[in-house]
Chain A
Amino acid sequence: MDVLTLSRIQFAVTIAYHFLFVPLSLGLVLMLVIAQRRAYRSGTQEDDLAARFWLRLFSATFAIGVATGITMEFAFGANWAAYSRFVGDIFGAPLAAEGLFAFFLESTFIGVLLFGRERVSRRAYYVSAWMVFIGAHLSALWIIIANSWQQTPAGYIVQDGRAVLTDFFAAAFNPSTLPRFFHTVASTWAMGGFMVVAVAAYYLIRHEHVAFARQALRTGLTIALIMSFAMPLIGHWHAVQVAETQPVKIAAFEGLSATQTDAPMSIVGYIDTATGESKGIKIPGLLSLLVGFNTNTTVVGLDSVPRTDWPPLQATFQTYHLMVALGMLMILIALVGLYLERTGRIEGVRWFLKLLPFAPVLPMLAIQSGWAAAEIGRQPWIVTGELRTADAVSAVVPAGQVAATLAVFVILYTVLYIGWARVMFKTLRRGPVEIQASASDGAEPTSAA
């Protein structure tokens, strides 16, 4: 395989892996501040143990997210040097700002949360949880600014073969930044909500830590339901923006070969990759209606650009539709779950309860496939309309070195996954209880100073 293919595989593997843990830690940090708030206000031991429990789950996930995030920063320069030369003027600033504004904030206050219980006041401890929450979300904002600029570049001119910044705010708040930020954050909160639901259901099935589990179940289902409903609304906002600024991508999402009014929306099916037309179940006129609130709205089709500028159609179409379908399923489960919980019947409906520990798979898959749709749908461009992915790869790196490091990534990441899963299950089995002398979960004072 050539350097380009290997580099693309390496990037896809490492970013997909990183993006397993990032949404989970953003979701769990929401639960963390909720739990820390409860503990701060009530001061009871149960609330305190619950807050520490969520901290342990969060910190293990946060650690692997941090570790695998370093890979991405290295990858731009190492594997995509031509890209880095082209976009450095614009793309580097958000990465530096992410470090300054987000990573320092997160890392400082996660240190306080994990090691500082006996060293800071209760209020400072509680504020630290908020600082980690803010830091995590600022990090999401800056990296989405950078990624959105690849999708819908703005605030620049191309000079001497590289993009040159002309307007910082136009570049940072390019057309897709805000819809993508809110779309992403809402999906991660949904992820967190379903994760909390899964943990709570696990205990309820086993009749362990029942009081804790009941409270967590209600909190988790509420978050999951609100976010599952918010997703299609924010998703709609995002889709209208994509239709305006990246029409080829939405044409690939829907398998729309020809520019037309009364454009249909695909529900399920497949794309005939020869023509770009989707086959399967479609609702006539719905795409036009959603994009312009009128079935007479013209929606741009794949025929608007040469075939060489089409993204991989089948992958774009299917990942997008998988995301939508999973989103619908999330609404259904959250709705049924919260109804059963509110009416006090959920612990009696065992089959449903036993499904819930597997529920986080839905948002996880939806997030992965949604991100894949966004990035595959951007191809063949690495910066829409300006630089092709094929022209972005490092010129001096031999294919053998990319292949070798790819192999190391696969092995290393597998070990990391096992290590993380062991910590998560160990924490889960132990539950929200007092833990003896384990220094870094903040359970025990470790200092005599």
Chain B
Amino acid sequence: MSPAQIWFGLVAILLAGYAVLDGLDLGIGALYPFMARSETERESLRNAIGPLWDGNEVWLITGAGALFAAFPPVYATVFSGFYLAMMLVLFSLILRAVSLEFRAHDPAWSRVWDAAFFVGSALPALLFGVAVGAIMRGVPLTSSGEFAGSFLTLLDPYSLLIGVLGLVALIAHGASWAALKTDGALAERSRRVRSVAGLAFVVLAVLATVATALGAPDSWHNVVSRAGGLLFVGLLGAGVIWGRIGMRRHSDIMAFLGSALSVVSLVGIWAAGIFPALVPALGNSARSLTVSNSAASDTALRAMLVIAMIGVPLVLGYTVYLYHTFRGRESSAGY
């Protein structure tokens, strides 16, 4: 494997880590105004992610940094080409980042920060999927690798369908986390949302499969003809089934892990679908930004590999420590 191929894998792993970890925060934020019925329940939901969301978000910051470092033209084309979508994601992440902290200290403005928390979670949960769909399908690129479309290019039916798929997946994922971390009536409600959203996800996933075969034939071909693609499709199915068995056995942890496996598999299917491109060009694959024509120099990639070999174990250590420290249910039974 070339250093560029290794970095394709590492960026995918960082994005998968982001999807599975911050995905649960975004899902809870998207459910927040609907699932919690009292201030106590709202507080339970906030506490379920309180110490965790910041670290979860760093997976995205680091993933974007790694993309910048390893594939500069991809970072430049995607961020400038999807300008308005990226800025909407950015504004959302800013709102989400301050909302929980400010809300805790400023009850008089709780409605402002509650709204910021909801919008700042739900919007990226949708937009990430839209971006994934657009890239899966391919985007119009110029001969110099610049984006050749407009904001509306992103909003084609296929990308929107993948956006909704992602949103529903993260809602199910967030509900699975809430079921695991809260108790009482809120946990029961979370379990119902988890079940319904999980079924909706299955329906959408079937639709998305058909849509991909018809609307994104290159990616479709890659997924079904590659061992990696079929592996992740299998894991997606296994995750869904594992989650359903967990629900039936009243095991919230099993249901959550099934959901986590599904979310990771979605990122895996995406990566298998587009490799070796990072941004497939629509209609002209010679223009695609790929691991070979968009990678940084080998010197830079190797230097970064050393950084990653030191940094990644530390990150895994912190993450395990944090989730271990904050294991168990948050009580909403008053205090």
Contact = CB atoms under 8 A, between A and B. Distances in A.
Interface string A359-383: 0000000000000000000000000
Interface in B295-310: 296-297, 299-300, 303-304, 307-308, 310
Interface string A27-58: 00000000000000000000000000000100
B11 to A, nearest CB: 10
Contacts of B299: 164-166, 168
B46 A96 contact: no
B335 A92 contact: no
Contact of A164 (B50, B57, B297, B319): B297
Contacts of A64: 98
Contacts of A168: 299-300, 303
Interface string B56-90: 01100111111111111101111111011011001
A440 B104 contact: yes
Given A104-B55, A426-B106, A448-B333, A165 B326 contact: no
A63 interface: yes
Interface stretch (A300-308, A326-334, A414-422): A414-422
Contacts, number: 272
Contact of A74 (B46, B90, B148, B300): B90
Contact of B83 (A96, A397, A420): A397
Contact of A100 (B77, B311, B319): B311
Nearest to A70: B93
A397 B146 CA distance: 11
B58 A103 contact: yes
B54 interface: yes
B203 interface: no
B315 interface: yes
B296 A67 contact: no
B94 interface: yes
A242 interface: no
Given A426-B105, A447-B331, A93 B300 contact: yes
A412 B91 contact: yes
B132 to A, nearest CB: 17
B73 A93 contact: no
Given A66-B97, A73-B64, A74-B87, A85 B55 contact: no
Contacts of B112: 419
A444 B72 contact: no
Given A89-B297, A423-B105, A78 B80 contact: yes
B50 A96 contact: no
B322 to A, nearest CB: 5
B50 A77 contact: no
B327 interface: yes
Interface stretch (A115-123, A283-291, A337-345): A115-123
A293 to B, nearest CB: 37
Contacts of B77: 81
Contact of A112 (B84, B303, B314, B325): B325
Contact of B101 (A59, A71, A165, A422): A59
B29 to A, nearest CB: 15
Interface residues of B, number: 81
Given A78-B87, A81-B77, A401-B83, A92 B65 contact: yes
A67 B94 contact: yes
B174 to A, nearest CB: 18
* A contact patch SS: helix
Contacts of A397: 80, 83
Contact of A116 (B90, B307, B325): B325
A439 B43 contact: yes
A402 to B, nearest CB: 8
B72 A93 contact: no
B73 A85 contact: yes
B147 interface: yes
A193 B86 CA distance: 38
A73 B109 contact: no
Contacts of A245: none
A426 B101 CA distance: 14
Given A108-B322, A111-B51, A438 B68 contact: no
B94 A115 contact: no
Contact of A449 (B43, B71, B79, B330): B330
B326 A104 contact: no
Given A73-B64, A99-B61, A107-B54, A440 B75 contact: no
- Greatest chain A CB density within 10 A among B68, B77, B304 is at B68
B69 A96 contact: yes
Contact of A67 (B65, B93, B308): B93
A170 to B, nearest CB: 11
13 contacts: A63-B98, A84-B79, A89-B72, A103-B61, A111-B51, A111-B322, A112-B322, A394-B83, A395-B80, A422-B108, A439-B46, A440-B46, A440-B105
Given A95-B65, A114-B51, A396-B146, 12 more contacts: A63-B97, A81-B77, A88-B76, A88-B296, A90-B300, A98-B65, A416-B94, A437-B335, A441-B105, A448-B333, A449-B328, A449-B331
Interface of B: 43, 46-47, 50-52, 54-55, 57-58, 61-73, 75-81, 83-84, 86-87, 90-91, 93-95, 97-98, 100-102, 104-106, 108-109, 112-113, 146-148, 183, 296-297, 299-300, 303-304, 307-308, 310-312, 314-315, 318-319, 321-322, 325-331, 333, 335
Shortest beta-carbon contacts, A-B, top 10? A88-B72, A449-B328, A92-B69, A77-B79, A99-B62, A100-B311, A111-B51, A448-B331, A92-B68, A440-B104
